[in-house]
Structure 1
Amino acid sequence: MEEVDEKQVYFHDMELDDRILKAIAMLGWEKPTVIQETAIPMALEGKDLLIKARTGQGKTASFLIPVIQKVLTHKKTAIETESIAIILCPSRELCKQTMTVIGQLTRKCSQVVKCIDISPDVEIAIQKPLLTNKPEIIVSTPSKLLKHLTAETITLSTIQYVVIDEADLVFSFGYQNDIEELIKYLPQFYQAILASATLSQDVKDLKKLVLHNPVILKLHEADIPPNSQLAHYYIAAEELEKATILSSLYKLHLINGKSIVFVNSVDKCYKLKLFLHQFAVKACVLNSELPAAVRCKAVEDFNNGVYDTIIASDERSLTEDLTFIKKEEEEIAQDGEEKEEKKKKKRNRRAKDKESGVARGIDFQCVSNVINFELPSEIDSYIHRAGRTARGTNTGTVLSFINKRQKKIFEEIEDHINKLQNTTNSFKKYEFKMDDVASLQYRAQDAWNAVTKNVIKEARMNEIKKEIIQSKKLKMYFEANPIDLEVLESQSTTRQPKKIKQNLGCMPDYIVPTTLRHLIDEQSKAGTKSGIWKQAEKINKEEKKQKYVKSNMNDKKRSNPLETTFQKKFKN
């Protein structure tokens, strides 16, 4: 088995089609990442690849660019249209994300390269007409592709390229049997690429099934960006103190750029969202209980700058489900064959739910800050969360709130990060003077206590009703039963629960700490508005999107956002 070292190569040196190069230029990619430098030329040579690189290093483009190039080359001599490439992802969100990147890379040849995502949870018969034209690239989850093969709506006899993204999650998501069945439908000769963040045993097993004497490309990198790129901060605080500090960071404009706030439960997602809403801080939530379409929309809105903050629950629920699947597999091996079929069906139902997993691989763009409002209970979870920022060459910041009960796990995380970075001080204490925000503390505590369990329940029920109303599957039912729709619409309201206050968004001048007054005076212009914290005029969505794209391109030129605004201006 061959292993290679990376070489410095540029996109224009790779003999790529001009249409691909123009699309790359429009994306602002000046040069390939380290893994792309080696992977793209190797893939174009027709070699099977096993690509291992940390999230954010450009793995997706490293296999999509050669696939698109191969399609364009094939089209020059093809007599008729054929499906020649399949890309498998472990979740629907990742399928949609892959489709987005394909759309960006084929914007100059979209009429030539046809692609379809068949992963959405719709009936096979509905998608069948879309496949009659035989799109060159098919994106899917393994289980959905197998359904189409069983229904004979797709044939893989003409497939030349097979790509499996996030390969280390495929078996964990319960797709091992699906992959084994899919291979039976593939032709004898095809080129295959596996992309993974790790080289786990599952990846090694998958490699044996799919690859043929592959080239292994792996970056010699740590699991987390270096301290020069990613700054780690911590602050000791209990529940109400955390609420005060978080609201202060937002209302005193101590956070620059977009942020992901992590919590450990779905209910806490909504509690934090409703809490921040009282301070006129717009945020969306992301958790495993939301429908796939809603999760995709949340990520899309966040990436496009509709929201500056996204509140995500931890991947604990996913971990528990995967543990459940592995436990059932052990039970199947131990019990008699009479129970095997029943257990497999139950396991497959759980595995199907994982098509909507949001644990890893989702491409959050332009993230400047990760805030652990609740510290994760495992070291790997911390590394995963931190990996949402400081992607590529950009810088980022992680701020973790630590309560007394979490001291032990924090010390374990700190020791692990120190070993990875070969240092003794990866974490810096985040200086915060609670006395300076005493007047804001009363507001924060009042707002936090107002979000009770009943308020959270009411808010979640309203969201469920809205999803029912907007459901495409129920559209025909509501057309036949308009009274039911009227009842739901009357019950579903856009207003916030009664206990949620709306007057905390405007911050009077006297609440601003004296240490920040001179900064606020600089921001305050002609003084035509009373209260310097009144919301500014609404920015056109497209302008705001361009603003974020521009800021992302300049990320690598900025120092760490929290360090710039807080550590230098609000301490001492």
Structure 2
Amino acid sequence: MNMSEETEEKQCNFHEMELDDRILKAIAKLGWQTPTLIQEKAIPLLLEGKDVLVRARTGSGKTAAFAIPVIQKILNFKQTASQQEIKALILAPSKELCHQICGVIKDLTIKCSREVRYIDVSPQVDLSVQKPLLVEKPDIVVGTPARALQHVKAGNLNLKKSLELLVIDEADLVFSFGYEDEMKELMRNLPKIYQAILASATLSEDVKNLKNLVLHNPVTLKLEEPELAPASQLTHYHLNAEEMDKATILYALLKLHLIRGKTIIFVNTVDKCYKLKLYLEQFAIPTCVLNSELPATIRCHSVDQFNQGVYDVIVASDEKALEAPTDSDAARDVKKSKRRKDKESGVSRGIDFRCVANVINFDFPLDVNAYVHRAGRTARGNNQGSVLSFVSMKEKILLDKVETKIRYGQEDVSVFKSYQFKLEELESFRYRAKDAWRAVTRIAVREARLKEIKQEIFNCQKLKSYFEDNPTDLQVLRHDKALHTVRIQRHLADVPEYIVPATLKSLAGITKTRKRRREFRGSESSNSKFQVKKSNPLLSMQFEGFGKKKKKSS
């Protein structure tokens, strides 16, 4: 009997795991037909009460793998409990991940929301705001280690008497985010006996240290699978380009709709994040930004808007990779940075960006793990995805390291495909791109960030009452000096037919669209609305990924 036949025979479905009917109904409503591999292996072990260390790649369903048994065990406790108590503490290294975990819990408890209550304490509001909610003793408390410890010290959170379950998600980031001291102090405020679960994408030294601190005789689930989705699901491309070429190609790809679907563009610094946003705005390409210097509310709101389809493109800075760079110059650059970053923020890790079709590495990541986690934002579940990496001469050595790491054990197989793009055919685009790129000066970037901070001040609920009492202060802010902004030239929003290379016109639908527009203008048919719809190629074309586009262009 081969391994695939054995796996098929032993596959265990959700209804065979002795789960409560209310959980099964919630799972059915979510459309989860069968458990993922990690869910199939982890849920029965956790229901048995074992300590478990779960290692599985990003997008494999780890959150549900621990959330389902936590909810089931709480429902079991309720059958004999005489009073309401806090039974589970779920810790995660970032506010965004805490928000995401609560979203999964909300979906899974939709049929038992009265019986199982939860609270997210990660938002940075005053402790007194969350104290009344904790006094009610919700069944599940979700938060970062630092935030949970603050409530313990304030006497709002007493875990020694009632806690039964401790979950730490993205465990390999907990220490690297600077939570080692908080975790050790928090452990002193937990009962001696409890069930613990560590979930992680990698088994690093930090995870091993955390394992010794938290777990007792655990079962280790290390799935024999690559860190990324298989080649049949996730395609990797690279394109050799320097800074100005990167900007030109990105403009052409987005403006000619050569990439379709939701796209995350990764850069390595916060300033580059804003520079790219201001650059794309000149061509009427709407984007939102995500980085560790933004307040948590803005970050969560940006992710929600991206997931809801308000934006199709998000520019994210993955500066966390700069904390332990291999390059000494990069290390010195990090030490020079005086800007206040939120250590409870993560962009490439943990956040569940939904239905991402493409990841573009405008700046190539500085280490292999950063590449893995960026690429893990797409091809989640059973969805297809593509990663396109722009690689400069200086970044070529980093590409080689990633190539060696993710060969999937096949020494002679190249993971990265060369993305065929004739840069010489984009000379007309280059003139526009060069002017727009140079227009985004360091002053423009700084002023854009100041504008964002002001906007946050105006939207801050805490300051509304202050401004009501001190209207002159608000006027000073509103009538401050005019911000230096990048001049928007309206003609840049349109792409004239004459600057589009002949080889790309059919791909972008330019020729067909212009021809139909001329036919529409000359037509006297009464069915005008229908013709306008047909003239728009985006209404009838679907995202085809990088690979198919490449075949067509060649």
**TM-score of the superposition, structure 1-length normalised?**
0.84
The 2-side partners of 1:295 and 1:391 are apart by 21
Q: Does 1:485 align with 2:474?
A: yes
Counterpart amino acid of 1:95? C
Name the structure 1 match of 2:524.
Answer: none
Contact 2:348 2:374 in 1 (8 A): no
* Structure 2 Cα separation of the partners of residues 222 and 492 of structure 1: 54
Match of 2:302 in 1: 298
> What amino acid does structure 1 have at the position aligned with 2:440?
V
Pairing of 1:142-541 with structure 2 (within 5 A): 142-156=145-159, 157-316=161-320, 319=323, 353-418=342-407, 420-491=409-480, 497-518=485-506, 520=509, 521-522=511-512, 527=517
Cα distance in structure 2, aligned partners of 1:38 and 1:229: 23
3-state SS, counterpart of residue 198 of structure 1: coil
Q: Aligned partners of 1:67, 1:445: CA distance in 2, in Å? A: 54
CA contact (8 A) 2:270 2:319 kept: no
Letter in 1 for 2:551: K
Q: 1:41 to 1:560 in 2, by over 3 A?
A: farther
Match for 1:140 among 140, 143, 148? 143
**What do residues 239-278 of structure 1 show as CA deviations (whole Å, max 9, x unaligned)?**
2221111111111111011111111211111111111112
- Measured against aligned partners, the alpha-carbon deviations of 1:77-100 in whole angstroms (never above 9, x if no partner) come to 322221111111112221111111
**Inter-partner Cα distance in structure 2 for 1:228 and 1:68:** 35
SS state at 1:365 partner: coil
Q: Choose the corresponding residue for 1:20, options 23, 36, 40.
A: 23
Residue of structure 2 in register with 1:346 after alignment: none
Distance 1:133 1:168 in 2: 32
**Alpha-carbon spacing, 1:280–1:419, altered in 2? closer, same or farther (3 Å):** same
Change (3 A) 1:560 1:413: farther
Residue in 2 aligned with 1:333?
none
Is the deviation greater in 155-164 or in 57-66? 155-164
Q: Cα distance 1:361–1:189, how it changes in 2: closer, same or farther (>3 A)?
A: same
Q: Deviations over 1:150-202 (max 9, x none)?
A: 22112111111111111112222232332222233323322111111122222
1:390 deviates by 1.7
Q: Which residue of 2 aligns with 1:130?
A: 133
What amino acid is aligned across from residue 260 of structure 2 in structure 1?
N
Aligned partners of 2:395 and 2:181: how far apart in 1?
A: 40
The residue number in structure 2 matching 1:542 is none
Give 1:537 shift: 11
Matched, 1:91 2:94: yes
Q: Is the 1:396–1:560 Cα contact (8 Å) retained in structure 2?
A: no
Aligned 8 A contact 2:260 2:544 in 1: no
Deviation at 1:369, TM superposition (A): 1.0
Q: Which residue of 2 aligns with 1:331?
A: none
- Change in 2 beyond 3 A, CA 1:537/1:27: farther
Structure 1, residues 387-412: CA drift from partner, whole Å, max 9, x if none? 22122332211111122222333233
- Note if contact 1:299-1:364 (Cα within 8 Å) is conserved in structure 2: yes
What is the alpha-carbon distance in structure 2 between the residues aligned to residue 407 and residue 359 of structure 1?
Answer: 21
More moved, 281-290 vs 217-226: 217-226
**C-alpha separation in 2, matches of 1:8 and 1:560:** 33
Alignment RMSD = 3.0
The letter for the 2-side match of 1:186 is L
Asked if 2 retains the 8 angstrom alpha-carbon contact of 1:285 and 1:312, the reply is yes
**2:439–2:486 CA contact under 8 A, matched in 1:** no
TM (normalized to structure 2)?
0.86
Asked if the contact 2:117/2:140 (under 8 Å) is kept, the reply is yes
Checking the alignment, whether the CA contact within 8 Å between 1:173 and 1:351 is kept in structure 2 is no
1:236 Cα deviation from its structure 2 partner: 1.5
2: CA distance, partners of 1:135 / 1:273: 41
Task: Specify whether residues 55 and 421 from structure 1 end up closer, same or farther in structure 2 by C-alpha distance, changes over 3 A only.
Answer: farther
1:193-230 per-position Cα deviation (integer Å, ceiling 9, x unaligned): 11111222222222222222111111111222332222
Match of 2:3 in 1: none
Alpha-carbon separation, structure 2, partners of 1:240 and 1:498: 18
Work out whether residues 55 and 201 of structure 2, in 8 Å CA contact, stay in contact via their aligned partners in 1: yes
Letter matched to residue 570 of structure 1: S
SS at match of 2:360: strand
- CA contact under 8 A between 1:395 and 1:559: conserved in structure 2? no
Q: Following TM superposition, by how much is the alpha carbon of 1:561 offset from its aligned partner in structure 2, in angstroms?
A: 0.8
* 1:32 positional shift: 0.8
Matches for 1:538-553 after TM superposition, within 5 Å: none
The 8 Å contact of residues 265 and 314 in structure 2, kept in 1 or not, is answered as: yes
Equivalent of 2:59, from 49, 56, 64?
56
Identity among equivalent pairs (%) = 56
Q: How far is 1:314 from its partner? A: 2.2
Corresponding residue SS for 1:259: strand
Report deviation, 1:359: 4.8
Distance in structure 1 (CA, Å) of the matches to 2:512 and 2:23: 46
Question: Structure 1 residues 180 and 435 mapped into 2: Cα distance closer, same or farther (>3 Å)?
Answer: closer
Q: 1:110 to 1:81 in 2, by over 3 A?
A: same
Q: 1:293-317: CA deviations, max 9, x gaps?
A: 1111111211221111111112346
TM-aligned CA distance change 1:210 to 1:248, over 3 Å: same
Q: 2:38 aligned with 1:40, yes or no?
A: no
Q: CA contact under 8 A between 2:273 and 2:289: conserved in structure 1?
A: yes
Counterparts of 2:322 and 2:24 in 1: how far apart (Å)? 39
Residues 386 and 505 of structure 1: is their aligned pair in 2 closer, same or farther, counting only changes over 3 Å?
same
Number of corresponding residues: 518
* Partner Cα separation in structure 2 for residue 451 and residue 148 of structure 1: 44
3-state secondary structure, aligned to 2:294: coil
Matched, 1:104 2:88: no
Is 1:562 the counterpart of 2:546? The answer is yes
CA distance in 1, matches of 2:514, 2:135: 61
TM-superposed CA distance for 1:136, in Å, is 0.7
> Could you say if the C-alpha distance between residues 239 and 69 of structure 1 is closer, same or farther in structure 2, counting changes exceeding 3 Å?
same
Question: How far, CA to CA, are the matches of 1:517 and 1:246 in structure 2?
Answer: 17
1:114 shift after superposition: 0.8
Code of the residue aligned with 2:311 in structure 1: it is: Y
Measure, in 1, the Cα distance between the counterparts of 2:70 and 2:488.
Answer: 51
Name whichever of 272-281 and 430-439 sits farther off: 430-439
